[in-house]
């Protein structure tokens, strides 16, 4: 019934594919409050563009362009705003999270347009396209729901669903126990039982990072001093000449994107311009700035070293990479040119390669997957790839933790568990009162 | 045929717990009402247990009371034992339960009916409905009288084609030895209504003189006690005790030995019984490891030694019922005065109803109580008062009165019935209410008495007191020491204002959450699906959804959303097409 809550909804208006800018759209009565809280700005004039900083606690998440619309003069006819942010995955995911924390919820497919239509902002011809999209999504969502019912739902979700149903039954049977026939809910056991469910939820929500990487690709930045062979590595990984490789240092002035499939994962490679302190011209300086951005945006950084090049400059770059807090793979290149002795002394590297001979390239691929933590995922593992599902899991974890604090107040404990169930309904299906009563009647001899 | 020389606004068929509330309510709203009952001496008969209320049921009685119904007041008049249940748990699940003297209960209700203006009562049996253009116009009786009427409320309870089972013995009857109503369900079938069959049961009654009470644990009444009706004050009265004991290993052996002689397990009964009121043989089959089931001895009244054995419902032959009694210490010599039995009866699929309890296809025909597949006096009474109010409103050309799920258990009950249908006798549980923290016994009046006053089902003279009471509760929520003048609250009491304010403070955060969710529900229920709009034909909704929508034919978008399996996307599409329909009708560009 969420779609009739007339509450505030949020979603990206831009597609999930890559682009420089992502536009977050928020609509509903809380829009202005949320916009003010996000930006720390006290006032917004409708239909004016503002350059704003998005606050995330003490930090600044991003600089963005904000446009506020006052209802009814807006797309949906409600108060709403749009925020254009840099399209980094982290920024996008975190911004959505912040907006949810401020009270918005994820919009359903087509919900903005439905509101627009119901508020008289468009005619049916305009709305029809969206109606078609809703209808199409309806079918796929229904298939997912059907999976829940016909038993093909993943065992993980089934376990969670069964656990919550059983928990509710244990509470409700005691609430209905008019003549105090039943022993009270055992506290230690119940707490452990709830913890068991929370652990299962956490196991799922913790895959969100990995899930996102699987869905959207692993952003990989290759850094190193000029001429360390970054573009050659890119080509070696790709297996064809994607980038012009020349021995003149400083050829690559733009970050270059290419994507590569390793096992089941997409690697989004960014070859950065060689970073050096004494840059030759302005164009190169800009390239260096982009490199820094690429590192900040990356999920993993490959630091490419060449023991023959400037040691100080290389140490600086490595320090810079490590300062981002990202996973950094240290890779020694040009092993074909090195002596046995030199190589044996290179224990500090994660991987030894030669872009020229191709030696070590396959090992490097494995290292990347391993480093990002995807190697330990089994085939039957569920990866949470959607921000909405991640939020649902986190909400449910929070509610279950609250339930644990209310073990003696059954009706309040039940409120929290029911909230958790409501959050999870898209993942595990609904648990109806009849489901709970069914569990009660099958497990407990109750009634007179 | 004798055609009665008057046209009634409302004819109520049946004088049980639903029928009595229905007749009183429609008459109170000014509708000229006739109550037809087979037997005046069994009006408001408590066919099963001698108690009113219980968990979730007590809430319903308070709601009936808050709307101006009689059930709470009659209960207090007949009470012999009060117990507020669940006081060890939170106030949201506290529920009053009152043991009653069955005879006092009956004649008090009968007297209430007799005193009610606009209400006529006749002892006869309704035989068939007379329709014209899919609207009811009259009711014909067994004595061949025709009562012309604008509306009919059918509340036949377990009487439509009732069959009593005791072991292999099968007898016609709406209760044991009460004549079944063998024509009405055929008449309803002719009207196109889907009729099904359900089952329920009752335990044996015994003579208390033959019971050794020293073997039982007594359960005394609460004293002081809380009256069932908020309009009554506690008074000195005579209390009776209930007693508790358990079945034994021997009981389990008797059941095992004689199981196939039970009507339930011999193949004589096919229809579904309520899982919450299982027979003792059901308990033995489903939970063989549980041998010691609780039994409660409840007095049937002040001027009788008859006791009801709660927990011993059975359809075993009479001689086995004696064996069962012998297996329980203290009941070895107990003399059965009425044998336990099971009963099967016809009911109507409640998905044929609108939220007003009017049948969708037949103008002016309303159903309330067990005919809708429910069980329980309280569930029946709750539907009865709503059907009575709505029949009167219909005659007066007014909008129906519908309670939402966040307003009352009665709202939950009716919405569940008409939206999900039933597959066993429906009993209310607090877990059925998603807004349990809102729907409490202490605030039924705050939730509903405003409606009662507006409708005229509560006396207008209560209006001033109610306004003062509401204001008092508000003040006490803000400041528990706020000065309140008690006399201004009459007939409400300061004690209950204090109590409900304290509960409100305790639940503040949870109430806010409940209210926020309830708002979404209210919004969805405000979107009415227009008559003439074919909700099942909306393009893009799932085929399964379309089939369900065609069957239930919801009246609001909210109701559509509560049909199991309807997806949010279905609802969005329906919303879009309702808006299109509205614009086309109003000549606006689609």
Bridge partners of B338, per DSSP, are B205
Q: Residue A293 — pLDDT band, cuts 50, 70, 90?
A: confident
DSSP assignment letter at A347: T
Residue A146 lies in a domain: no
Q: What is the pLDDT of residue A336?
A: 79
Strand partners, B10: B33, B151
pTM, two decimal places: 0.85
- Structural domain includes residue A16: yes
**A432-442 tens-digit pLDDT:** 999 999 999 88
From chain B, the residues in CB contact with A141 under 8 A are 567, 569
Q: Are A160 and A400 spatial neighbours (Cβ–Cβ below 8 Å)?
A: no
Contacts of B289 (CB under 8 A, 6+ apart): none
Task: Centre a 10 Å sphere on the Cβ of residue A145 and count the other Cβ atoms it contains.
Answer: 18
Counting the structural domains of chain A, the total is 3
Q: What is the phi/psi pair of residue B152, to 5°?
A: -130, 135
| Tens-place pLDDT, residues A163-210 | 999 999 999 999 999 888 889 999 999 999 999 999 999 988 887 777
Instruction: Name the one residue in this structure whose structure tokens are 């049948």.
Output: B359
pLDDT for res A345: 64
Contact B569/A at CB under 8 A: yes
Residues A113 and A199 in one domain: no
Q: Dmax of chain A from CA atoms?
A: 90
- Cite the DSSP H helix spans in A81-154: 89-101, 111-118, 124-150
Helix, strand or coil, per DSSP, at residue A336: helix
Beta carbons of B128 and B134 less than 8 angstroms apart: no
Q: Are strands B341-348 and B195-202 parallel, antiparallel or unpaired?
A: antiparallel
Taking an 8 Å cut-off on Cβ atoms, the answer to whether B90 and A409 are in contact is: yes
Is A139 inside any structural domain? no
Which stretch of DSSP H or E encloses residue A38? helix A31-39
Query: What is the C-alpha separation between B125 and B11, in angstroms, rounded?
Result: 12
Q: Please, are residues A214 and A264 in contact by the beta-carbon 8 Å criterion? A: yes
> Which of A203-207, B146-150, B155-159, B547-551 bottoms out in mean pLDDT, i.e. has the lowest?
A203-207
Q: How many CB atoms lie within 10 A of CB B379?
A: 29
Q: What are phi and psi of A445, to 5 degrees?
A: -90, 95
Q: Tell if the CB–CB gap between A175 and B557 is shorter than 8 Å.
A: no
A-chain residue closest to B433, CA distance: A433
- The residue assigned the tokens 């196991």 is A203
Q: Is A112 helix (H, G, I), strand (E, B) or coil?
A: helix
The residue among A418, A396, A163, A398 whose CA lies nearest residue B431 is A418
**CATH at residue A367:** 3.40.50.300
On average, the pLDDT of chain A sits at 81
pLDDT value, residue B445: 98
Q: Is B511 on the interface with A (CB under 8 A)?
A: no
Q: B2-160+173-196+347-432 has which CATH code?
A: 3.50.50.60
Q: Residues of B with CB below 8 A from A448's CB?
A: 49, 277, 296, 310-311, 313
Q: Determine, yes or no, domain membership for A378.
A: no
Q: How confident is the model at residue B24 (pLDDT cuts 50, 70, 90)?
A: very high
* Domain edge (last residue) among A320, A337, A371: A371
Q: What is the pLDDT of residues B471-481, one digit of tens each?
A: 999 999 999 99
B223-248 pLDDT tens trace: 999 999 999 999 999 999 999 999 99
Spell out the alpha helix ranges (H) of B421-542. Answer: 444-455, 463-478, 494-506, 508-526
Residues of B in contact with A175 (CB under 8 A): 55, 86, 89, 93, 430-431
Residue B483 pLDDT class (50, 70, 90 cuts): very high
The whole-number average pLDDT for the span B393-411 is: 97
Q: Count the neighbouring beta carbons within 10 Å of the beta carbon of residue B30.
A: 14
Cα–Cα distance for residue pair A372/A357, rounded to 1 Å: 26
- Name chain B contacts of A7, Cβ cutoff 8 Å: 520
- Confidence check: pLDDT of A314 > 60: yes
Residue A279 has pLDDT above 80, yes or no: no
* Band of residue A146 on the pLDDT scale cut at 50, 70, 90: very low
DSSP code per residue over B164-179: EEETTEEEE-SBTTB-
Does residue B542 sit at the A interface (CB-CB below 8 Å)? yes
Based on the fold, state whether residues A219 and A364 are members of the same structural domain: yes
> DSSP for B307-364?
EEEET----S-HHHHHHHHHTSTT-TTPPEEE--EEEEEEEE-GGGB-TTSBBSSSBT
Residue numbers in A near B378 (CB within 8 A)? none
Q: Residue range B92-111: average pLDDT?
A: 98
The CATH number for A198's domain is 1.20.120.430
Specify whether A226 is located in the same domain as A331: yes
DSSP per position, B100-120: E-HHHHHHHHHHHHHH-TTEE
CATH number for the domain running over B527-585 = 1.10.150.570
d(CA A68, CA A85): 15
Q: Does B521 touch chain A (CB under 8 A)?
A: yes
Average pLDDT over residues A66-90: 90
Say yes or no to pLDDT of B577 above 60: yes
The pair of structure tokens assigned to A112 is: 């903005």
Mark whether A361 and A228 lie in a shared domain: yes
Query: Of B535 and A179, which is predicted with more confidence?
Result: B535
Whether B20 contacts B4, CB under 8 Å: no
Query: Treating both helix axes as pointing N-terminal to C-terminal, what angle do B57-66 and B377-395 enclose, rounded to 10 degrees?
Result: 30
Ramachandran region of residue A289, left (φ > 0), alpha (ψ -120 to 50) or beta? alpha
How many other CB atoms are found less than 10 A from the CB of residue B343? Answer: 28
Q: Which chain A residues have a beta carbon less than 8 Å from that of B580? A: 124
A261 φ, ψ (degrees, to nearest 5): -100, 120
Do residue A249 and residue A289 come from a single domain? Answer: yes
- Using DSSP's 3-state secondary structure scheme, residue B535 falls into helix
DSSP for residue A22: E
**What is the sign, positive or negative, of the torsion defined by CA atoms of A42, A48, A50, A56?**
positive
How many angstroms away from the CA of A150 is the closest CA of chain B?
Answer: 13
Q: Residue B261 pLDDT more than 80? A: yes
B:271-310 residues touching chain A, CB 8 A cutoff: 274-278, 283, 286-287, 290, 293-294, 296, 310
Same domain, residue pair A301 and A337: yes
B23 vs A330: CA distance, rounded Å: 87
Where does the pLDDT of residue A135 fall: very low under 50, low under 70, confident under 90, or very high at 90 and above? confident
Q: Which two tokens stand for residue B407?
A: 């307003």
Q: Where are the domains of chain B?
A: 2-160+173-196+347-432, 205-344, 459-526, 527-585
User: What integer pLDDT is reported at residue B200 of this predicted model?
Assistant: 94
Helix axes B71-78, B57-66, angle to 10 degrees: 110
Cα–Cα distance list, B180 to B144, B160, B166, B171 (Å): 17, 6, 16, 10
**Position A134 in a domain:** no
Residue A147 located in a structural domain: no
Look at residues A327, A342, A371 and tell me which one is the last residue of a structural domain.
A371
The pair of structure tokens assigned to B122 is 């006749």
**Domain interval for residue A75:** 2-127
Q: What is the mean pLDDT of residues A215-239?
A: 81
- Name which of B391, B557, B561 is nearest B8 in CA terms: B391
- Which one of B287, B521, B540 has the shortest CB-CB distance to A135? B540
Give the strand pairing for A265-271 and B163-166.
Answer: unpaired
Higher pLDDT, B551 or A346: B551
CB B76 within 8 A of CB B232: yes
Nearest C-alpha neighbor of A307 from the set A222, A221, A228, A223 = A228
H/E run at residue B293: none
Domain assignment present for residue A84? The answer is yes
In a shared domain, residues A199 and A339? no
3-state secondary structure of A49: strand
CA distance A418 to B520: 17
Q: What is the 3-state secondary structure (H, E, C) of A400-420?
A: HHHHHCCCCCHHHHHHHHHHH
Q: Average the pLDDT over A133-137 and give the result.
A: 72
Residues A217, A203 share a domain:
no
User: Does residue A348 sit in the same domain as residue A418?
Assistant: no
Residue pair B58/B35 in contact by the 8 Å Cβ criterion: no
- Written out in words, the top-level CATH class of the domain with range B205-344 is mainly beta
Question: Rounded to a whole number, what is the distance in Å from the CA of B568 to chain A's nearest CA?
Answer: 7
| Unique residue bearing structure tokens 């927990």 | B311
Domain final residue, candidates A371, A400, A432: A371
Residue at A407 is within a domain: yes
Residue A180 has a pLDDT of 82
Letter string b/e over residues A92-101, b meaning 16 or more CB atoms within 10 A of that residue's CB = bbbbbebbbe
B323-359 per-position pLDDT tens digit: 999 999 999 999 999 999 999 999 999 999 999 999 9
- pLDDT, residue B83, reads 97
């Amino acid at each position: 019934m969420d779609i009739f809550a007339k509450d505030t909804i949020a979603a990206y208006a831009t597609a999930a594919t890559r682009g420089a800018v992502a536009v977050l759209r928020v609509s509903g009565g809380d829009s202005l409050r949320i916009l003010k809280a996000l930006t720390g700005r006290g006032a917004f004039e409708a239909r004016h563009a503002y350059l704003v900083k998005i606050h995330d606690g003490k930090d600044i998440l991003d600089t963005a362009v904000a446009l506020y619309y006052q209802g009814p003069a807006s797309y949906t006819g409600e108060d709403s705003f749009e925020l254009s942010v840099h399209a980094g995955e982290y920024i996008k995911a975190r911004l959505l999270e912040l907006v949810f924390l401020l009270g918005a919820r994820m919009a359903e497919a087509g919900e903005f347009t439905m509101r627009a239509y119901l508020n008289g902002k468009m005619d049916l011809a305009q709305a029809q396209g969206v109606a078609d999209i809703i209808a199409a999504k309806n079918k796929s969502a229904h298939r997912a729901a059907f999976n829940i019912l016909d038993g093909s739902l993943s065992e993980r979700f089934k376990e969670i669903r069964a656990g919550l149903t059983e928990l509710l039954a244990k509470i409700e049977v005691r609430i209905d126990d008019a003549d105090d026939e039943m022993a009270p809910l055992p506290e230690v056991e119940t707490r452990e039982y709830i913890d068991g469910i929370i652990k299962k939820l956490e196991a799922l929500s913790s895959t969100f990072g990995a899930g996102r990487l699987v869905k959207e690709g692993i952003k990989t930045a290759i850094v190193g001093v000029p001429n360390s062979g970054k573009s050659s590595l890119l080509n070696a990984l790709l297996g064809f000449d994607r980038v012009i490789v020349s021995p003149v240092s400083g050829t690559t002035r733009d970050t270059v994107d290419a994507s590569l499939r390793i096992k089941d994962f997409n690697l989004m490679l960014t070859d950065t311009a060689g970073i050096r302190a004494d840059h030759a011209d302005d164009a190169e300086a800009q390239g260096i700035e982009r490199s820094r951005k690429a590192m900040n945006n990356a999920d993993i950084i490959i630091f490419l070293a060449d023991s023959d090049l400037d040691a100080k400059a290389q140490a600086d770059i490595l320090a810079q990479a490590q300062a981002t807090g990202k996973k950094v793979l240290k890779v020694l290149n040009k092993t074909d040119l090195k002596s046995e002795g030199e190589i044996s002394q290179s224990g500090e590297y994660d991987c030894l390669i030669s872009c020229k001979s191709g030696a070590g390239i396959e090992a490097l691929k494995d290292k990347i997957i391993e480093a990002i933590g995807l190697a330990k995922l089994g085939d039957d593992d569920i990866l949470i790839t959607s921000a909405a599902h991640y939020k649902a899991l986190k909400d449910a974890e929070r509610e279950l933790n609250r339930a644990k604090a209310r073990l003696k107040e059954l009706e309040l404990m039940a409120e929290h568990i029911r909230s958790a169930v409501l959050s999870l309904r898209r993942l595990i299906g609904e648990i109806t009162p009849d489901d709970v009563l069914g569990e009660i009647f099958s497990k407990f001899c109750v009634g007179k | 045929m004798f055609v009665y020389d008057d046209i009634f606004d409302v004819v109520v068929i049946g004088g049980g717990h639903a029928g009595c509330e229905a007749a009183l309510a429609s008459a109170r709203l000014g509708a000229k009402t006739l109550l037809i009952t087979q037997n005046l001496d069994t009006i408001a008969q408590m066919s099963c247990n001698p108690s009113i209320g219980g968990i979730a049921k007590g809430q319903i009685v308070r709601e009936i009371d808050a709307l101006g119904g009689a059930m709470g007041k009659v209960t207090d008049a007949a009470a012999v034992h009060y117990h507020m249940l669940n006081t060890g748990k939170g106030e949201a699940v506290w529920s009053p339960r009152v043991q009653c003297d069955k005879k006092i209960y009956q004649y008090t209700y009968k007297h209430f009916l007799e005193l009610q203006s606009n209400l006529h009562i006749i002892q006869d049996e309704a035989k068939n409905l007379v329709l014209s253009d899919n609207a009811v116009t009259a009711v014909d009786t067994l004595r061949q009288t025709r009562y012309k009427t604008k509306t009919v409320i059918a509340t036949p309870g377990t009487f439509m084609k009732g069959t009593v089972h005791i072991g292999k013995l099968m007898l016609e009857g709406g209760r044991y030895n009460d004549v079944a109503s063998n024509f009405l369900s055929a008449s309803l079938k002719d009207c196109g209504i889907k009729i099904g069959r359900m089952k329920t049961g009752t335990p044996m009654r015994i003579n208390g003189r033959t019971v050794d009470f020293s073997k039982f644990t007594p359960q005394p009444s609460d004293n002081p006690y809380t009256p069932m009706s908020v309009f009554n004050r506690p008074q000195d009265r005579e209390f009776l005790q209930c007693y508790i004991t358990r079945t034994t290993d021997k009981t389990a052996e008797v059941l095992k030995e004689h199981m196939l002689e039970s009507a339930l397990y011999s193949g004589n009964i096919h229809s579904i019984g309520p899982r919450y009121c299982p027979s003792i043989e059901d308990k033995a089959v489903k939970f063989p490891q549980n041998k010691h089931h609780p039994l409660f001895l409840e007095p049937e009244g002040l001027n009788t030694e008859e006791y009801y054995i709660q927990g011993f419902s059975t359809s075993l032959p009479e001689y086995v019922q004696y064996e069962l009694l012998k297996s329980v210490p203290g009941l070895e010599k107990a003399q059965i005065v009425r044998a336990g039995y099971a009963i099967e009866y016809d009911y109507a699929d409640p998905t044929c109803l609108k939220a007003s309890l009017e049948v969708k296809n037949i103008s002016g025909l309303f159903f309330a109580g067990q005919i809708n597949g429910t069980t329980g006096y309280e569930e029946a009474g709750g539907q009865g008062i709503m059907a009575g109010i709505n029949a009167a409103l219909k005659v007066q050309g007014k909008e129906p009165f519908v309670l939402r799920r966040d307003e009352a258990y009665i709202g939950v009950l009716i919405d569940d019935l008409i939206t999900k249908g039933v597959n066993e006798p429906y009993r209310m549980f607090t877990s059925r209410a998603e807004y349990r923290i809102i729907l409490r016994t202490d605030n039924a009046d705050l939730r509903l008495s405003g409606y009662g006053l507006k409708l005229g089902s509560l006396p207008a003279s209560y209006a001033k007191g109610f306004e003062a009471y509401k204001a008092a509760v508000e003040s006490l929520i803000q400041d528990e020491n706020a000065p309140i003048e008690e006399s201004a609250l009459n007939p409400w009491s300061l004690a209950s204002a204090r109590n409900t304010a304290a509960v409100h403070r305790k639940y503040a955060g949870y109430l806010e959450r409940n209210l926020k969710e309830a708002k979404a529900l209210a919004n969805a229920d405000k979107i009415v699906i227009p008559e003439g709009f074919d909700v099942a034909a909306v393009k893009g909704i799932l085929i399964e959804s379309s089939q369900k929508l065609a069957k239930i034919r919801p009246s609001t978008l909210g109701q559509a959303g509560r049909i199991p399996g309807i997806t949010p996307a279905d609802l969005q599409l329906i919303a879009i097409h309702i808006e299109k329909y509205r614009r086309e009708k109003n000549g606006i560009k689609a």
